Amino acid sequence: MSRNITILYGHPDSSEKRLCYALAKAYQDAAQLTGHAVRRINLSDFDCSSILSEEDFNHGAVPKIINEAQEAIEWADHILLIFPLWMGSMPGKFKMFLEHIFRPGFALDYSKKGFPGQLLKGKSADVVVTMGMPTVAYNGYYFSHGIRNLRRNILYFCGIKPVHLTYFGGVNSVKKKTLSRWMDKMHYLGENPG
């Protein structure tokens, strides 16, 4: 079944030399070849200030690129979030980007009392993260808190479920054969969203 996929490319560096770039491309190519429709939003196109107050979060002007990202998310059945691990979590700029996107009224409905209404129900996501340390260290020693926070506190909270996590670790000393396996994995994810 053909699906609508939106890629949120969360690397602050737009260089094609980045591993994330190659992984995202492998995913996109495989998805499109399989017949899925793909849209891509690049963090590096985002040049806006941080949200500095609750008032701004609730009622501030929404930058054009955020409108585009929200529209692409609304359109999507499935979302790929891909970024490098920085200081144990997503890069700060990507977090800022998500704060802009997942605003009340778009992702959450606070109009009724109690638990906020989840406005993004029915969508699924893949979160793909590259990292310098081996994945066994991130999972076993750091308990992957930074990424589990993204899954539970942001994506699940807005109703996006299931969210599948994929980590590629030890990126600084990766062998050709391993890299080829990672590309195969991204092809598989692109062919089978959700």
CB of 126 to ligand FMN, least distance (A): 16
Subset of 117-176 contacting ligand FMN (CB under 6 A): 130-133, 171
At residue 167, φ and ψ (nearest 5 deg) are: -115, 140
Residue 107: count other Cβ atoms within 10 Å of its Cβ: 22
Query: Taking CB under 6 A as the rule, does residue 86 contact ligand FMN?
Result: yes
In the sheet with 124-130, reading across from the earlier edge strand, the strands are: 37-42, 4-9, 78-84, 124-130, 163-168
Minimum distance, C-beta of residue 91 to ligand FMN, in the bound complex (Å): 7
Q: Which is nearer to ligand FMN, 11 or 123 (CB)?
A: 11
Measured CA to CA, the distance from residue 138 to residue 122 in angstroms comes to 30
Asked if residue 70 binds ligand FMN (CB under 6 A), the reply is no
Cis peptide before 12 (omega within 30 of 0): no
Nearer to ligand FMN, 19 or 51 (CB): 19
Point out which span in 17-25, 47-55, 104-112, 120-128 binds ligand FMN (CB under 6 A).
17-25
Binding of ligand FMN by 11 (CB under 6 A): yes
Q: For the purposes of burial, counting CB atoms within 10 Å of the CB of 147, is it exposed (0-12), middle (13-18) or buried (19 or more)? A: buried
The single residue among 5, 7, 8, 20 that binds ligand FMN, judged by CB under 6 A, is 20
Q: Is 88 in the site for ligand FMN (CB under 6 A)?
A: yes
Residue selected from 9, 24, 84, 186 as contacting ligand FMN according to rule CB under 6 A: 84
The stretch among 30-38, 50-58, 63-71, 85-93 that binds ligand FMN (CB under 6 A) is: 85-93
Q: Which helix (H) or strand (E) holds 191?
A: helix 176-191
Q: Applying CB under 6 A, what is the total number of residues that bind ligand FMN? A: 14
Closest CA to 102 of 65, 69, 76, 79: 69
190 touches ligand FMN by CB under 6 A: no
> What residues line the site for ligand FMN (CB under 6 A)?
11, 18-20, 84-88, 130-133, 171
